[in-house]
């Protein structure tokens, strides 16, 4: 674990995990030039470049090496414990893979919120997360210092969206939304072929939605907002309201109608704001495939023929769809981010 602490940084000059105040990481010009030469040499020699992907989740980290869904050479999973222990195991896995000599870059699809402003002194940090012990962790700096590789970085939902765009349910589309409904609710996607970024990054799970009639007494479960979309429609919200996990509820339980209504309300706002060509919905709650036609119906009713797109008015099954990459979307998103990091180097 020595050397891992040197790659971890925290905000506001608080004490780092290695016990000292530190300044944010910035790659030196020498390192950047070295990486350019190294990658160019690998390409010139005809070597097939391999990429590392990390799905950094609040419950587990998934790591893989490969180039695509059909070409994964190695994979590992670790529980999310402390930053030092978890990132130490991740770094150990990729150091072993880098020993093969062909690992060109690593990409991280990370839980958050995170800082995605490349000009910020805290770029690559996890910021105001409710995950205990992880606020202020410098994920990108840890990876760069320990591995000496380019690091692509984005949110877990933007990473999954990029993977679905490259290999999955959003191939060929330049504008779409990826929404995950599970332990939390998060969203990402592309607009005009570019991942959604701006002031920070999308926080679709924390938009406000009207209360469904009959649900006024439920407080909500979001630790920041109580009754935002995540507070009312995530897996923990379903369990808190109905005293049962979503996967244990029967198909005709009233929970599903309420869930579909909340999701329809959220999609109404997102369709009006972003006009996506497709909506990909994943996560554990959406494992109940009966939700998809219910959500389509509620969305059509809420839009009330104002948005006259056949995909909505005709309830087309190819508009609101499950992800094609399933549980691998996050780690494959990391691989896609690594590929983009090399392409932009």
Cβ atoms 159, 107 nearer than 8 A = yes
Banded model confidence at residue 44, pLDDT cuts 50, 70, 90: low
Q: Per residue in 148-163, is it b (16+ CB within 10 Å) or e — as a string?
A: ebbbbbbbbbbbbbbb
DSSP conformation class of 265: H
Q: Which DSSP helix (H) or strand (E) runs through 335?
A: helix 329-343
Summarize pLDDT for 290-337 with one digit per residue, the tens. 999 999 999 999 999 999 999 999 999 999 999 999 999 999 999 999
CB atoms within 10 A of CB 92: 16
Residues 6 or more apart whose CB falls under 8 angstroms from that of 46 comprise: none
Domains and CATH numbers, the chain: 5-155 (3.30.420.40), 169-323 (3.30.420.40)
Query: 273 is written with which tokens?
Result: 């704001």
Task: Please tell me the total number of residues recorded for the chain in this structure.
Answer: 345
- For 11-68, the three-class secondary structure string (H helix, E strand, C coil) is HHHCCCCCCCCCCCCCCCHHHHHHHHHHHHHHHHCCCCCEEEEEEECCCEEEEEEEEE
Banded model confidence at residue 23, pLDDT cuts 50, 70, 90: very low
Summarize pLDDT for 86-102 with one digit per residue, the tens. 999 999 999 998 876 68
CA distance 122 to 3: 20
């Amino acid at each position: 674990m020595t050397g891992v602490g040197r790659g971890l940084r925290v905000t506001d000059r608080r004490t780092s995990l290695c016990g000292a105040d530190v300044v944010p990481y910035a790659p030196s010009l020498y390192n950047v030039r070295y990486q350019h030469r190294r990658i160019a040499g690998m390409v010139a020699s005809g070597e097939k470049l391999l990429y590392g992907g990390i799905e950094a989740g609040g419950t587990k980290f998934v790591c893989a090496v490969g180039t695509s869904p059909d070409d994964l050479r190695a994979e590992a999973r670790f529980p999310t414990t402390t930053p030092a222990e978890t990132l130490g195991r991740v770094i150990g896995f990729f150091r072993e893979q880098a020993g093969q000599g062909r690992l060109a870059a690593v990409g991280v699809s990370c839980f958050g919120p995170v800082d995605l402003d490349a000009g910020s002194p805290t770029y690559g940090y996890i910021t105001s997360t409710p995950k205990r012990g992880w606020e202020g962790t410098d994920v990108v700096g840890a990876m760069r210092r320990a591995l000496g590789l380019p690091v692509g970085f984005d949110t877990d939902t933007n990473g999954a969206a990029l993977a679905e765009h490259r290999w999955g349910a959003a191939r060929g589309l330049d504008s779409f939304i990826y929404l995950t409904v599970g332990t939390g609710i998060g969203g990402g996607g592309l607009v005009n072929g570019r991942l959604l970024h701006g002031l920070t990054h999308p926080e679709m799970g924390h938009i406000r939605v009207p209360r469904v009639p009959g649900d006024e007494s439920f407080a909500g479960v979001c630790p920041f907002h109580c009754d935002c979309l995540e507070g009312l429609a995530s897996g923990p919200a379903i369990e808190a309201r109905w005293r049962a996990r979503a996967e244990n509820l029967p198909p005709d339980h009233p929970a599903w109608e309420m869930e579909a209504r909340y999701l329809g309300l959220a999609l109404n706002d997102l369709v009006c704001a972003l006009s996506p060509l497709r909506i990909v919905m994943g996560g554990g709650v959406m494992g109940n495939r009966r939700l998809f036609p219910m959500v389509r119906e509620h969305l059509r009713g809420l839009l009330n023929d104002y948005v006259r797109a056949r995909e909505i008015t005709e309830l087309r099954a190819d508009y609101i769809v499950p992800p094609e990459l399933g549980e691998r979307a996050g780690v494959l998103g990391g691989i896609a981010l690594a590929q983009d990091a090399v392409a932009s180097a």
